[in-house]
Homo-oligomer: A and B are copies of this chain.
């Protein structure tokens, strides 16, 4: 349960930036080089590279350099951490928690 937590910090933070989400969207269609990925953005390359490093650090992408070209690939399975967290969260408010449910019901009655 707390295994996720460290990963989630990085993953959610990686997702909190529009440039990085756009990169992920692009990589969703298939691998690409740094310069291909950077091309749509009005940003200096070193700045863009920071986003790539951030994404790689979070595990959402993987990169590999062959010759002078670094190719980036999306790491689909990493997104499962987000889905798992969402499921956990949803399970809480859908009352799929045994003892706690009584407390929840009571709290909600008082809250309303």
Contacts and interface: CB of A to CB of B under 8 A. Distances in A.
Interface of A: 5, 8-9, 12-13, 15-18, 21, 24-25, 28-32, 71, 73-74, 76, 79, 82-83, 85-86, 88-90, 92-93, 97, 100, 103-108, 110-111
A72 B82 CA distance: 24
User: What is the oligomeric copy number?
Assistant: 2
A15 B24 contact: no
Contact of A29 (B5, B79, B104): B104
Contacts of A100: 29
Contacts of A103: 29-30
Contact of A30 (B15, B71, B108): B108
Contacts of A93: 28-29, 74, 76
